[in-house]
Amino acid sequence: MEINMVVEADNLVLSLKEGKEVISVMYINLKMLNNGLGLTELKNIYTKKDYRRQGLMERLMKETFEVIQEERQPLTVMVPNDEKIFKKYGFNYISDKEYCDINSHRMSPKLLEEAAVADGDFTLLVKDRGTLNVHTVKEKHYGRVTRWLNKYLDEKSPLHATVSEEKIKSIKLDLNAQDGSLFMMEYNGLIKGVFDYIPGREKGKVTRCYIEDEINDWDIFIDKYSEKYMSARVIDAAKAMTMLTSTETFVRTIRIKDNLLPENNGVYMLHTSPEGGQVHAVPIEPMQNSYGEGIAAECEIDIDYLAPFIMGYITAEDCIRVYVKSKEADVYESWNKLLKPGNVIINI
């Protein structure tokens, strides 16, 4: 059974077929493939029930990894529908999705519901705070909202997909279909926040809440909580580790273990310039002492924990095994001091 590859819209689709019937499929988001962020997105991953546990998904995954390697992308991300299925391929969580609800003492949900239905606006007077103009996002707002969101995301994370006006339109239509809408808040004529609202949603009625700190302190949004959301896998270990930076000299050795991509296996020397800066990762042969004995790396990490560490989702203590116990504190401290690129934002 050969793997088929075709381009559909903005996706490279890899599939396995029995006759003309697609039995296993995976999509690579081509818009993300060369976005300069150093990562790709996988989506719409599925194998028909009767064909599961036959190694079909592993075949697609390996082929997908080869495509990503050819594009020299160090990381790939996805929103997994089942953590257990993808963990065996080296994926692990790197970020959470936040939910919240409306503080009805500050802003009436009824006002939002009426505005969503009428595609209307209203003025919100928040006691002891000020006045906000709340608008459903209309076509005339798409440009302003897009520019504001990209600026906001730039400040929150260097690893985010650029928001387009087409994306705003798509979100608005999807929310309207659920009797909700996309809203923006203005204060003194300037956009200060963008959020969505769907009445009756179980996991919090707001899943997109991008609010400037100035307005966030007004306590309009409450009951904030999060759950695991985005997962990632390192494809090129050496290149992925260059996403780390340091404010001081950093020199360490670490062994990486990768059962699926053996080219990532081995010992790496990580170092910066004397003043710090970007971390460089160089694969090295095991060093030998004067007696000809091999000198192991200081520590090791399994590949499925490397992406979460690089993104700052977990600490060194959570994922790195130090070989000499007396050196643990020193090794962990130096790894934890490294600066991480921050949260990955693929879809707003």
Q: pLDDT above 90 covers what percent of the chain?
A: 59
CA dihedral 259, 261, 262, 263 (to 10 degrees): -150
Please, which pLDDT band fits residue 347 given cuts at 50, 70 and 90? low
Is residue 10 located within the same domain as residue 110? no
Is residue 275 located within the same domain as residue 193? no
Beta carbons within 10 angstroms of residue 154's beta carbon = 11
Give one DSSP letter per residue of 143-186, joined into a string: HHHHHHHHHHHHHH-SSBPPP-HHHHHHHHHHHHTTT-EEEEEE
Q: pLDDT above 70 covers what percent of the chain?
A: 92
Mean pLDDT over the full length of the chain: 88
- Residue 64: its pLDDT value, please? 92
pLDDT per residue over 189-233, tens digit each? 999 999 999 887 765 678 888 999 999 889 999 888 888 888 999
Q: How many residues does the chain have?
A: 348
For residue 47, the domain's CATH number is 3.40.630.30
Domain hosting 134: range is 104-219
For residue 212, the domain's CATH number is 3.40.630
By the 8 A CB rule, do 137 and 148 touch? no
List phi, psi (to 5°) of 205.
Answer: -85, -5
Residue with the bigger pLDDT between 97 and 239: it is: 239
CA distances from 85 to 63, 88, 267 (A): 17, 6, 28
Please, which pLDDT band fits residue 127 given cuts at 50, 70 and 90? confident
- Residue 187: its pLDDT value, please? 95
Per the domain annotation, does 95 fall within a domain?
Answer: no
Please, which pLDDT band fits residue 157 given cuts at 50, 70 and 90? confident
CA distances from 261 to 69, 104, 201, 245, 303 (A): 11, 51, 41, 25, 9
Angstrom distance (rounded) from CA 32 to CA 14: 16
Angstrom distance (rounded) from CA 306 to CA 265: 12
Is residue 153 located within the same domain as residue 196? yes
- Residue 345: its pLDDT value, please? 66
Q: Sheet of 221-234: strands edge to edge? A: 3-8, 11-18, 21-29, 39-47, 75-78, 221-234, 92-102
285: DSSP letter: P
For residue 290, the domain's CATH number is 3.30.1050.10
Is residue 182 located within the same domain as residue 120? yes
Is residue 207 located within the same domain as residue 111? yes
Please, which pLDDT band fits residue 119 given cuts at 50, 70 and 90? very high
Mean of pLDDT values over 6-35: 85
**Tokens found for residue 251:** 């020199």
Predicted confidence (pLDDT) at residue 293 exceeds the cutoff of 60: no
- Residue 30: its pLDDT value, please? 80
Is residue 143 located within the same domain as residue 197? yes
Q: What is the largest CA-CA distance in the chain?
A: 81
Is residue 64 located within the same domain as residue 15? yes
Is residue 314 located within the same domain as residue 253? yes
343: DSSP letter: -
Predicted confidence (pLDDT) at residue 348 exceeds the cutoff of 80: no
- Its pTM surpasses 0.75: yes
Predicted confidence (pLDDT) at residue 288 exceeds the cutoff of 70: no
Please, which pLDDT band fits residue 34 given cuts at 50, 70 and 90? low
Per the domain annotation, does 226 fall within a domain?
Answer: no
Per the domain annotation, does 82 fall within a domain?
Answer: no
Per the domain annotation, does 87 fall within a domain?
Answer: no
By the 8 A CB rule, do 301 and 309 touch? yes
Predicted confidence (pLDDT) at residue 160 exceeds the cutoff of 80: no
Closest by alpha carbon to 221, among 196, 244, 240? 196
How many structural domains are present in the chain? 3
Is residue 58 located within the same domain as residue 134? no
Per the domain annotation, does 83 fall within a domain?
Answer: no
Per the domain annotation, does 327 fall within a domain?
Answer: yes
Per the domain annotation, does 201 fall within a domain?
Answer: yes
345: DSSP letter: B
Q: Which amino acid is at 240?
A: A
Predicted confidence (pLDDT) at residue 121 exceeds the cutoff of 90: yes
Beta carbons within 10 angstroms of residue 295's beta carbon = 11
By the 8 A CB rule, do 43 and 27 touch? yes
Angstrom distance (rounded) from CA 210 to CA 326: 45
Closest by alpha carbon to 157, among 92, 79, 69, 230? 230
Is residue 209 located within the same domain as residue 246? no
Torsional sign, CA 275, 277, 282, 287: positive
- Residue 8: its pLDDT value, please? 87
Per the domain annotation, does 230 fall within a domain?
Answer: no
